């Protein structure tokens, strides 16, 4: 079985019912991310190379998938930003050959890499960090809205099932931003959009649960999003 050694796995969630809608999935969190989002929960995945010996090699992960055939039905490649990994396409092919449905989580920073792997994806979760003017702050210094928008266009053209979602960090986003993102996605023709509650990271001592809850409960934004997306929900 040819497995690219360029697939660097930071961690694996062996059983998940929340990472791929209506599927029981194993999730491979791939190492490396170009961004430095202030609300990142996976900072250990940001460097391209993890410190120390990896707990999961590609070989170990695919041996695990081989054993779990029949118990799991999907494999999700998440991150970090999985599209930084050159071995991703090959890994998706292997997962498909094993009989798994394949999902991808991405921030959309690499539209060319997304185009390469889309034929092997059955579903994609695309993170929309915020409205265009705030992208630089939301991604830790990268003005990456245009790349994300190109990735979104590719998804829409491809016919691959996908959802968009936004982590609602009240330090950076407000209700007007949620309305603005919603209007952008509606205009594009997106059908499924989700708000995700931000849970303060260890480094964030100032944001309260009340502040997080208040943003995702904003009546005007929630009503607008409910009205304009076939699938919409708030994930807490
Ligand atoms: S894109 Fe994801 S992994 Fe990368 S810095 Fe942002 S939250 Fe962290």
Q: pLDDT tens digit string along 122-179?
A: 999 999 999 999 999 999 988 899 999 999 999 999 999 999 999 999 999 999 999 9
Q: How confident is the model at residue 5 (pLDDT cuts 50, 70, 90)?
A: low
pLDDT attached to residue 3 = 53
Query: How far, in Å, from the CA of 43 to the mean position of ligand 1?
Result: 7
* Residue of the CA atom closest to atom 1 of ligand 1: 35
How much of the chain, in percent, has pLDDT values that exceed 70? Answer: 98
Predicted confidence (pLDDT) at residue 109 exceeds the cutoff of 80: yes
Look at 6-10, 20-24, 135-139, 158-162 and tell me which has the smallest mean pLDDT: 6-10
Which numbered atom of ligand 1 lies nearest the CA of 36? 5
Tell me how far apart the terminal alpha carbons of the chain are, to the nearest angstrom: 40
- Block residue for tokens 């409205």: 131
Look at 12-26, 42-56, 109-123, 193-207 and tell me which has the smallest mean pLDDT: 42-56
Predicted confidence (pLDDT) at residue 4 exceeds the cutoff of 60: no
42 lines ligand 1 (CB under 6 A): yes
92 lines ligand 1 (CB under 6 A): no
Query: How far, in Å, from the CA of 42 to the mean position of ligand 1?
Result: 7
79 lines ligand 1 (CB under 6 A): yes
Average pLDDT over residues 59-81: 96
107 lines ligand 1 (CB under 6 A): yes
198 lines ligand 1 (CB under 6 A): no
Q: What are phi and psi of 13, to 5 degrees?
A: -100, 110
Q: pLDDT tens digit string along 165-223?
A: 999 999 999 999 999 999 999 999 999 999 999 999 888 889 999 999 999 999 999 99
Its pTM stands at 0.95
Q: How confident is the model at residue 84 (pLDDT cuts 50, 70, 90)?
A: very high
Which numbered atom of ligand 1 lies nearest the CA of 39? 7
76: closest CA among 5, 126, 16? 16
Q: What is the mean pLDDT of the chain?
A: 94
Query: How far, in Å, from the CA of 100 to the mean position of ligand 1?
Result: 26
pLDDT attached to residue 50 = 79
30 lines ligand 1 (CB under 6 A): no
35 lines ligand 1 (CB under 6 A): yes
* Residue of the CA atom closest to atom 8 of ligand 1: 40
Determine the topology of domain 9-235 in CATH. TIM Barrel (3.20.20)
* CA–CA gap between residue 130 and residue 132 (Å, rounded): 6
Select from 31, 79, 165 the residue to mutate for testing ligand 1; criterion: most ligand atoms less than 8 Å from CB: 79
7: closest CA among 71, 102, 78, 70? 78
Average pLDDT over residues 19-30: 97
141 lines ligand 1 (CB under 6 A): no
């Amino acid at each position: 079985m040819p497995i690219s050694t360029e697939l660097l796995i930071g961690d694996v969630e062996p059983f998940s019912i929340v990472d791929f809608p209506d599927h029981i999935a194993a999730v491979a969190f791939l190492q490396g991310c170009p961004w430095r989002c202030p609300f990142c929960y996976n900072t250990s995945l940001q460097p391209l190379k993890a410190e120390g010996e990896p707990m999961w090699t590609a070989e170990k992960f695919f041996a695990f998938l081989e054993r779990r055939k029949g118990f799991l039905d999907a494999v999700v490649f998440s991150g970090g930003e999985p599209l930084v990994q050159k071995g991703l396409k090959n890994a998706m092919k292997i997962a498909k050959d094993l009989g798994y449905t394949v999902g991808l989580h991405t921030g959309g920073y690499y539209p060319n890499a997304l185009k390469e792997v889309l034929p092997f994806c059955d579903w994609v979760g695309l993170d929309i960090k915020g409205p265009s003017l705030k992208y630089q702050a939301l991604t830790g210094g990268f003005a990456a809205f245009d790349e994300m928008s190109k990735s979104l266009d590719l998804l829409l053209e491809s016919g691959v099932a996908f959802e968009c979602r936004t982590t609602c960090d009240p330090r950076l986003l407000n209700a007007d931003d949620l309305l603005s993102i919603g209007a952008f996605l509606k205009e594009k023709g997106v059908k499924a959009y989700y708000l995700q509650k931000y849970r303060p990271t260890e480094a964030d001592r100032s944001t309260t649960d009340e502040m997080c809850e208040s943003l995702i409960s904003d009546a005007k934004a929630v009503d607008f999003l409910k009205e304009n997306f076939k699938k919409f929900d708030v994930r807490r």
